[in-house]
Structure 1
Amino acid sequence: MLGDGIVPSNAKAGYLARLVIRRMLRQMDALKLDVPIADLVEMQLSSIGDPAYLRRLDTAREILDLEEEKYRQVISKGRRLLARSVKKFGDVGTIPTSQLIEWYDTYGIPPEVTKEVADSESVGIDLPDNFYSMVASTHAAALAEVSETPYAEYADRLKFIPKTLRLFYDEPSGITFEAVVLDVFDNQIVLDQTLFYPEGGGQPADHGTITSPDLVLHVVDAQSANGIILHKVDEPEGDLTYLVKKGDIISGTIDSKRRLAHTQHHTATHIVNHCAKTVLGDHVWQTGAQKSETKARLDITHFKRITDEEFSEIERLANEEVVKNQRVYTEWMDRIDAEKEYGFVLYQGGVPPGSDIRVVRVGGDVEACAGTHLRYTGMIGQIKLLHTERIQDGVERIEFAAGAAAVLASQARDNILNSACSIFRVPPEKLPDAADRFFTEWKELSKQNTRLKEELASALVGNMVAGARSAGDVRIASYISADADMQELIKIAGAMREIPDMIAFVGSTHDGGKVVVSVGRDARAGGFDAGAIVREICKELGGSGGGKPDLAQGGGPDASKLQEAFDAGIDSIMKRGEG
């Protein structure tokens, strides 16, 4: 599986690969084989001697080492989870198969490990002999993508209409065309031929206009239904079926700027995909792509995060392909002949229907593709990789811009760089050192600030204790700050709580009224509750609060009443002490 480019993950074929690997690891543990799984696989490949697999041995080893490390972590965490969870099934007596599957799917915990933990708790498990087959069949079903027939409601109407002639293949740089109207319904117009590319293969539909001598309609979408392209137009003034009739000859004009941007991004996607495979390894496989006017994204299989060095190398190689200005070749081929010549790598972007497929060759990349493409790679202008992210386990997303969009993206980043240089007052080449220096200084100042706050809190505690008022068996102290945040208030109140007979009111008028009340051990024994006191104070501020008997917090929007609320709370305690 790894030799065929499958990367272990939590979805589709990658899930099945991980299932097999972890089953092997479990069997190795049962047999007490203290050897890396990668060594066993290397021994097996060496005995087979297939050059195609041996070329990918280093990548396979890296994947297997990573998978084994993940497996060990899963087992360690899984045992802790099971220690808590298995006990819940004590009353039932048996852990059902559905729960075993859930734990395996969600946390990767093998049922054999669950059985070990369950046995120690005298809990049974319902583990069928075909457990792994059940799990595999569940995920194998997800491999078959099910989609509804597009525009099914128009099926009867469309079945007598011939397929639309797609002019954008023979005239990729064409902008205007003439066509005959074959049908009109709802907001849809069907033509005998068109330059409007219908949405597909991650490429958005063309926009533009359809005109006749007395009419201009704006095309806002184009979709393909069984080979027939439907042009969706904006709501016209009046009934569309009266404005446009079957047999009318119309002129169509596509938005050339939008089309060029999509085409540049589509051709660039093929180049970036090929360069990613060159840099990262033959296991890379396209799992999805989406183009727009401003950027594109490419999702590829890869077993770890793309490093900065790999990111830069992919971009460098991609722009080398652009500078070479190589011809982009497209041809229609019999599917069987194409597969014999190029293999299943053709289907990087998915498997197209039909006995004939359109094969696109861009440099070293060969794919079955129905999208629009440039005639030469140099027409892309520039490819700028923007960033990468891990969208799921085993899948990396590369976002990039091409053509004019790449220039704009580069300018935007230059503007950010220049702004940062202006703030730090250094040239670009010195920015990293300046940022590092300022960050180091900021961390040191933050530490100093924390120490000063702690010293201030300690001094405040001393002052509060010195100024405390006695009320029977307890003492009361208060402090209001103009700028302290909640964490500072909690720190002060926490220190006051350590004094057994002390009740402390601590507050701040910064950004609304904030209140923290602490009650010492002896004061709590006397019936005083910090939560109850805070709630009464916060009512006066128009807010609410609560917490534990020893420490509670709250606040309200009306900070102007904070001193008044404190005074009222203190008076209440004083009267209680006098009583």
Structure 2
Amino acid sequence: MPSASVILDDPNLLFVNAGMVQFVPFFLGQRTPPYDRATSVQKCIRTPDIDEVGITTRHNTFFQMAGNFSFGDYFKRGAIELAWGLLTNAVSEGGYGFDPEKLWATVYLDDDEAIELWQEVAGLPLERIQRRGMADNYWSMGIPGPCGPCSEIYYDRGPEYGVDGGPEANEDRYIEIWNLVFMQNERGEGTSKDNFEILGPLPRRNIDTGMGVERIACLLQGVDNVYETDLVRPVIDKVAEYARVPYGNHSSTASDVRYRIIGDHSRTAAIIIGDGVTPGNEGRGYVLRRLLRRIIRAAKLLGVEQPIMSELMVTVRDEMGPSYPELVTDFDRIHRIAVAEETAFNRTLAAGSRLFEDAAESTRAAGKSTLSGSDAFTLHDTYGFPIDLTLEMAAEAGLSVDEEGFRGLMAEQRQRAKADAASRKQAHTDLSAYRDLVDGGPTEFTGFNELSSQATILGIFVDGVRVPVVSHGGAEGTVELILDRTPFYAESGGQIADEGAISGTGSSATAHASVTDVQKIAKTLWAHRVRVESGEFVEGDMVTAAVDPQWRRGATQGHSGTHMVHAALRQVLGPNAVQAGSLNRPGYLRFDFNYQGALSDEQRAQVEEVTNEAVQADFEVHTFNEKLEKAKAMGAMAMFGESYPDEVRVVEIGGPFSLELCGGTHVHNSAQIGPVTILGESSVGSGVRRVEAYVGLDSFRHLAKERALMAGLATSLKVPSEEVPARVATLVEKLKTAEKELDKIRLASAKAAGANAAAGAEQVGKVRLVAQRMSAGMTAGDLRSLVGDIRGKLGSEPGVVVLISEGDEGSVPYVAATNRAAQDAGLNANELIKQISSAVDGRGGGKADLAQGSGRDAAGIDRALAAVRAEIARS
């Protein structure tokens, strides 16, 4: 089987992390496999051990897992025989030729059968077979499902890599190269790798194995680590052309680690982008962004001054393209996204560097030599600075860093993230109740040619439980009817499901149900979610399934309109504006596409015009089936990250204007779409834009509403419609001028109040203090301006100014300032802000001489001022 995309529709996985993932329905018994045995080399992404990359000799974030699988066929003996033969047979016999004397095996604690087989099949002596516990040698997906003991194969690299004693003693010397999982049980709920209940045996025993291609390459090529194999080392060599520090300088281990991080992450980033991900702030996009930023940071720490991402992506393409052709065919997009992220992060680094300089200055001003853990954490959390970059910058500034405080805050963040992930993680949906129907063959979809079909009820389900009959008022829960054939489109490809009705025939003619949703089960069965409104439905009944014609008409307009907008975007913006997602329903479409930067008004108008010109051209819409590779060769657009069967459906609108792989329903001619009105264009993530539009009658209604609005404005302003924009612009300008005059008056009044405040400063100990509630409506900017004026009037003796106001929309802005004499006396504006923040439910900060914040509880203002007075009195 070919490798699946690293992105699969699995609620528990950001990325495919093992070769078995694409076979999960077979292991869970949801589907009967079409074959008893399989092998694959799967692209895998694992990032939990990202901090180990470059430090150990064996960790990759992207790796290739070679595996062989048995679905109720061979079991332990067969798996061990196949693995041992491949590893130890001579190259001339199709093996890898490893010395059997250097191979070790581990087994689960009580798996005596595996120990006997290793001795019998492989001739391994007992001293080279080690028993290990559940955390190491018992495999599961981490959720309820199949599980079982496993047996891992290790290669002894020799005493120069560590102490003797087998895998238990040292996993750098004894490197794991293959894991054989004997899936024979079903697990229940649990909280960790070694804390869950074994519910009982599976109906049949399976084999799942995973061999690390990079680790095998490392051993066969005789290199020291996985980063020096022939697919990664070229990236390292490319970096060495620009870095100030050479690779392999063993007196500087940190530098070698940075080289390896770049080599590893460059491959991973290219693969992830190639499978359809763009950088973002959550989920897969966040992982990609983190990888790219680690590359950029590591390069800078090696002394690489110029942008380097372009050359790294070219190197990865050249080395890995022969194995993964999508890295070549989609290279323009991969290159553009990676380079854009480098450009954006370089700007972020500049902003973060300014924050670091401010934090360093505040640290020195407070007479300290250690940057706080909270400052280091802010640099990491807000600007993506890793602790090693902060440490290096601090050392250059003559400061140390509170690493313990930083790591404590990081641990708290990880705990929150872990709890959030655990709350969202779920077991795989149990589809075993549908298995008989899935095995019986797919539902026949008739909706391309008709809106009403005669069908037989194959199964009835209520909340996932199969029942023989369902009647009006008799079922509470989600009712699903599985039919042998249907005209209803099941939600997929961005198109939501059809609406309509299912009615009984013959003796069950009184039965009627409205169809509220249609979903696919195991990608083959159409499950009609219905509301039974009369009569009863019995399994085996003949029924009539009818789609609402008006609904379908609107749905086809929306879907065909999506294709037209996609084609128009590519015509206006270029071929890199490719689809990143879509949603269409009657009268409306939403289209996400990869593009850097917002569209100009002119570009947006062009896209709308090109789309409507194509609508007016009344292009014919042709659909046909074709082999996947031939369809791609014709230029048919495919969705990044989607998996397609060998034969695909192609939708062609206007010859070369639009050609896409699509399984949705469409109009017959483009004119049937009706007018397309683009409502707006916005960002939905880094490098991903979104266009929304109305089509057909909804578009007309929107334009009619806009026309009525314009007519109303023209009447109110007493000008013709075409003069409304100029008239509104004039009014806006007058309003801005009036607001500026009001601001001047307000600020003059505030300054007068400030002068009075300075004159009336109270004496608290040796400190002249102004702590006042200012008039409502003042902004943080107003307060900052005032505290500077007041502080200047307090003279040379210690002086402190604290001003608070009730701002707009319930906000409570506040500012604190100290003069030099007050700072010498140990008073710090940043510390005073903390007192205020606590009283008014706010947050803030700054430097020793000036700090500010904003709260939400105006009732605490008097309490805050009292706290400031008390703090100064104690000083």
Q: TM-score, normalised by structure 2?
A: 0.44
Establish whether residue 120 from structure 1 lines up as the match of residue 396 from structure 2: yes
> 159-168 or 17-26: which moved more?
17-26
SS in 1 for 2:460: strand
- In structure 2, the CA distance between the partners of 1:347 and 1:147, relative to structure 1 (3 Å rule), is farther
SS in 2 for 1:360: strand
Establish whether residue 271 from structure 1 lines up as the match of residue 571 from structure 2: no
The one-letter code of the counterpart of 1:346 is M
Match of 1:234 among 515, 519, 531: 531
The within-5 A match list for 1:135-534 is 152-171=431-450, 174=451, 176-186=452-462, 187-212=479-504, 213-225=509-521, 226-234=523-531, 243-340=536-633, 342-343=634-635, 345-348=636-639, 351-363=642-654, 364-457=657-750
| Alpha-carbon distance, 1:519 to partner | 14
Q: Aligned partners of 2:497 and 2:387: how far apart in 1?
A: 46
- In structure 2, the CA distance between the partners of 1:422 and 1:337, relative to structure 1 (3 Å rule), is same
1:262-311 CA-partner distances (Å, limit 9, x unpaired): 21111011111111011111112111111123421111111222111111
Aligned residue number for residue 133 of structure 1: none
SS in 2 for 1:244: strand
SS in 2 for 1:234: strand
The within-5 A match list for 1:83-122 is 107=384, 117=393, 120=396
| Alpha-carbon distance, 1:346 to partner | 3.1
Aligned 8 A contact 1:104 1:110 in 2 = no
Aligned 8 A contact 1:74 1:109 in 2 = no
Aligned residue number for residue 347 of structure 2: 73
| Alpha-carbon distance, 1:170 to partner | 2.2
SS in 2 for 1:264: helix
The within-5 A match list for 1:9-28 is 9-10=278-279, 19=292
| Alpha-carbon distance, 1:193 to partner | 1.3
- In structure 2, the CA distance between the partners of 1:190 and 1:34, relative to structure 1 (3 Å rule), is closer
> 368-377 or 430-439: which moved more?
430-439
The one-letter code of the counterpart of 1:107 is G
Q: Aligned partners of 2:358 and 2:344: how far apart in 1?
A: 22
1:401-446 CA-partner distances (Å, limit 9, x unpaired): 1111211222333344344434433333222222221222112111
- In structure 2, the CA distance between the partners of 1:509 and 1:155, relative to structure 1 (3 Å rule), is closer
Aligned 8 A contact 1:5 1:284 in 2 = no
- In structure 2, the CA distance between the partners of 1:361 and 1:5, relative to structure 1 (3 Å rule), is farther
Q: Aligned partners of 1:60 and 1:283: how far apart in 2?
A: 10
Q: Aligned partners of 1:515 and 1:350: how far apart in 2?
A: 47
| Alpha-carbon distance, 1:355 to partner | 2.4
Aligned 8 A contact 2:627 2:648 in 1 = yes
Q: Aligned partners of 2:338 and 2:688: how far apart in 1?
A: 16
| Alpha-carbon distance, 1:208 to partner | 1.5
| Alpha-carbon distance, 1:66 to partner | 6.1
Which ranges of structure 1 fall in alignment gaps of 5 or more residues? 46-55, 126-145, 469-476, 522-542, 563-568, 570-579
The one-letter code of the counterpart of 1:219 is V
| Alpha-carbon distance, 1:177 to partner | 2.8
Aligned 8 A contact 1:22 1:71 in 2 = no
| Alpha-carbon distance, 1:206 to partner | 1.0
Q: Aligned partners of 1:508 and 1:37: how far apart in 2?
A: 51
The one-letter code of the counterpart of 2:658 is D
Q: Aligned partners of 2:382 and 2:743: how far apart in 1?
A: 45
The one-letter code of the counterpart of 2:448 is Y
Aligned residue number for residue 143 of structure 1: none
The one-letter code of the counterpart of 1:10 is P
The one-letter code of the counterpart of 2:638 is Y
Q: Aligned partners of 1:400 and 1:7: how far apart in 2?
A: 24
Aligned 8 A contact 1:37 1:68 in 2 = no
Q: How many residues were matched structurally?
A: 489
Which ranges of structure 2 fall in alignment gaps of 5 or more residues? 1-269, 319-329, 404-424, 463-478, 762-769, 796-800, 820-839, 845-850, 867-875
Q: Aligned partners of 1:244 and 1:555: how far apart in 2?
A: 58
Aligned 8 A contact 2:556 2:666 in 1 = yes
Q: TM-score, normalised by structure 1?
A: 0.64
- In structure 2, the CA distance between the partners of 1:554 and 1:362, relative to structure 1 (3 Å rule), is closer
SS in 1 for 2:447: helix
Aligned 8 A contact 1:183 1:189 in 2 = yes
Q: Aligned partners of 2:752 and 2:391: how far apart in 1?
A: 59
Q: Aligned partners of 1:509 and 1:361: how far apart in 2?
A: 61
SS in 2 for 1:170: coil
- In structure 2, the CA distance between the partners of 1:465 and 1:557, relative to structure 1 (3 Å rule), is closer
| Alpha-carbon distance, 1:361 to partner | 0.8
Q: Aligned partners of 1:24 and 1:458: how far apart in 2?
A: 47
Aligned 8 A contact 1:223 1:229 in 2 = yes
| Alpha-carbon distance, 1:227 to partner | 1.4
The one-letter code of the counterpart of 2:696 is G
The one-letter code of the counterpart of 2:530 is V
Higher relative contact order (CA 8 A, sep 6+): 1
- In structure 2, the CA distance between the partners of 1:412 and 1:462, relative to structure 1 (3 Å rule), is same
Aligned residue number for residue 164 of structure 2: none
Q: Aligned partners of 2:747 and 2:554: how far apart in 1?
A: 58
Q: Aligned partners of 2:721 and 2:588: how far apart in 1?
A: 26
Aligned 8 A contact 2:455 2:544 in 1 = yes
Q: Aligned partners of 2:749 and 2:293: how far apart in 1?
A: 61
SS in 1 for 2:637: helix
Aligned residue number for residue 102 of structure 2: none
1:228-279 CA-partner distances (Å, limit 9, x unpaired): 11111125578xxxx2112212122222222222211110111111110111
| Alpha-carbon distance, 1:67 to partner | 6.3
The one-letter code of the counterpart of 2:454 is E
Larger helix proportion of the pair:
1
| Alpha-carbon distance, 1:360 to partner | 0.8
- In structure 2, the CA distance between the partners of 1:456 and 1:83, relative to structure 1 (3 Å rule), is closer
Q: Aligned partners of 2:721 and 2:604: how far apart in 1?
A: 21
- In structure 2, the CA distance between the partners of 1:263 and 1:464, relative to structure 1 (3 Å rule), is same
| Alpha-carbon distance, 1:316 to partner | 0.4
The one-letter code of the counterpart of 1:385 is I
Q: Aligned partners of 1:110 and 1:119: how far apart in 2?
A: 12
The one-letter code of the counterpart of 1:180 is T
- In structure 2, the CA distance between the partners of 1:19 and 1:61, relative to structure 1 (3 Å rule), is closer
Q: Aligned partners of 1:509 and 1:82: how far apart in 2?
A: 32
User: What value does the CA root-mean-square deviation take over the aligned residues?
Assistant: 6.2
Q: Aligned partners of 1:273 and 1:232: how far apart in 2?
A: 31
Q: Aligned partners of 2:369 and 2:787: how far apart in 1?
A: 46
| Alpha-carbon distance, 1:338 to partner | 2.3
Q: Aligned partners of 2:804 and 2:500: how far apart in 1?
A: 64
- In structure 2, the CA distance between the partners of 1:359 and 1:554, relative to structure 1 (3 Å rule), is closer
Q: Aligned partners of 2:666 and 2:627: how far apart in 1?
A: 20
- In structure 2, the CA distance between the partners of 1:30 and 1:460, relative to structure 1 (3 Å rule), is closer
